[in-house]
Amino acid sequence: MLEPAKRYTGYRSYSYLEEGRDYRSFQLAPELDRVAPYQGPELSTADRQRVQRLLTDNIVVSTHDHPSRFPGDITETIDYNRTGRHRTGYEGLARSGMTAVFDNFMDGTACVTSQAGWKWTDVIADLGLRFSDLAHQDFVIKAETVADIHLAKETGRIALIAGLEASTPIENELDRIDILHGFGVRQLGIAYSESNTLGSGLKERRDGGLTVFGRRAVERMNRLGIIIDVSHSGDVTSLETIQHSTKPILITHAGARGVWNTNRMKPDEVITACAERGGVIGLEAAPHTTLSHQHPQHSIESVMDHFVYCVDLVGIEHVAFGPDTLFGDHVGLHDLFAGALSLGEAHAGVEYERVPYVDGLENPAECFWNIVAWLVTHGYSDDEIRAVIGGNAMRVIEEVWT
């Protein structure tokens, strides 16, 4: 883990208001040292310096995370989410080494007015409150342009890119995509596990593909400069989205079904189609997703099995990392929202060994240090590491946003 960024001055979310009076107080999980430190291979002095240099000198992009703090008692999350005031983990981000992070907000767990999530009003409340908080500090930048990401790098800050894992909240209103773009959203998923007006989610038994409305939505996202994500979409919907889009897409957080055979992982056909159109797959690390038979107890080693497979399949220029981490008990969060997030269907009946957290990729503060350390100790060149920790994602961002 890196030393804290010099630009960070200790700001805490919503500290311009009075906690307990202006908004409800919760005891939150710590941003650092919530679990035992990762005991990876010991780095030599030269390797440690190389990891430090690669993270310091290059643009580092997470294609998918939720860098918010959750209650220490994870069962309080529904009450916490209903306030609409997720706290950004500024201290943890200051230790992360990231230049830019695709933050996908509360998504389907946004239950301000509805337990089902995904409601337009709830999503807008989530976006608005988080953006209001960002506006009161100077370390994390709300990124809407490529220039914002470069500014963050040049000034020692972090660019936060707003995204949503599904377009479900737009319902059948095409212009809501424009509204989201106007608010600053720069990445949208097609469908989450459940189907919507655009296409099929990965839990459906029959994938109807991209709908007529979905095609129009893809065209609108292309015109506006919104990056399209199919991480939670069904296979047919994913393929048809890739084919219909005139711009490359991101599979922001997933793994390879060739390594672990569940619906949550992408088949070779989808990964290859994405790469052939210039897109990139970001490797997922949320608990109990990117498992492997070689490393069935989910850890950084399991995730890197997917990395090696995808590099062999489509080339290193089409692979990145979207760890999908947060500050808090991610396993407990999945248990709490298992029904809403369709986790059972995503696993498709495949048995797995439960872990309390993903060792080595537990939260946004530690992920990229451990990823780069793994790459350094496994013989990857500086150019290869630069590509997968940020260069590949930046290529897509630059093509779609400009």
Q: Over the stretch 267-320, which tens digit does the pLDDT of each residue have?
A: 999 999 999 999 999 999 999 999 999 999 999 999 999 999 999 999 999 999
CA-closest candidate to residue 194, choices 181, 182, 208: 208
| 110, 166 contact by CB (below 8 A) | no
| 341, 47 contact by CB (below 8 A) | no
Q: How far apart are CA 128 and CA 148, in angstroms?
A: 19
Query: Is the predicted pLDDT of residue 339 greater than 80, yes or no?
Result: no
Which pLDDT score, from 0 to 100, does residue 351 have? 81
pLDDT digits (tens, 9 = 90+) for 43-69: 999 999 999 999 999 999 999 999 999
Q: Quick one: how far is CA 193 from the chain centroid?
A: 16
At residue 115 the predicted structure's pLDDT band, cuts being 50, 70 and 90, is: confident
- For residue 138, how many other CB atoms are within 10 A of its CB? 13
Residues 6+ apart with CB under 8 A from 289: 255, 262, 264, 265, 298, 324, 346
Q: Residue-wise over 365-383: b if at least 16 C-beta within 10 A, else e?
A: bbbbbbbbbbbbbeebeee
**Global pTM value:** 0.96
345/389: higher pLDDT: 389
Which pLDDT score, from 0 to 100, does residue 194 have? 92
Which pLDDT score, from 0 to 100, does residue 348 have? 62
Alpha-carbon distances of 6 from 51, 147, 364, rounded to whole Å = 18, 21, 18
- For residue 180, how many other CB atoms are within 10 A of its CB? 25
Residue with tokens 């998504």, as numbered in its chain = 107
Which pLDDT score, from 0 to 100, does residue 302 have? 98
Query: Is the predicted pLDDT of residue 365 greater than 70, yes or no?
Result: yes
Query: Is the predicted pLDDT of residue 342 greater than 60, yes or no?
Result: no
DSSP 391: I
Which pLDDT score, from 0 to 100, does residue 120 have? 96
Query: Is the predicted pLDDT of residue 1 greater than 80, yes or no?
Result: no
pLDDT digits (tens, 9 = 90+) for 245-270: 999 999 999 999 999 999 999 999 99
pLDDT digits (tens, 9 = 90+) for 129-168: 999 999 999 999 999 999 999 999 999 999 999 999 999 9
| 156, 5 contact by CB (below 8 A) | yes
What average pLDDT does range 116-125 have in this prediction? 94
Listed range (100-109, 289-298, 336-345) with the worst mean pLDDT: 336-345
Q: How far apart are CA 59 and CA 65, in angstroms?
A: 16
Query: Is the predicted pLDDT of residue 10 greater than 80, yes or no?
Result: yes
β pairing state of 185-189 and 227-229 = parallel
Tokens of 145: 């342009």
Domains and CATH numbers, the chain: 47-401 (3.20.20.140)
Percent of the chain exceeding pLDDT 70 equals 97
DSSP three-state, residue 88: strand
CA-based diameter of the chain, in Å? 57
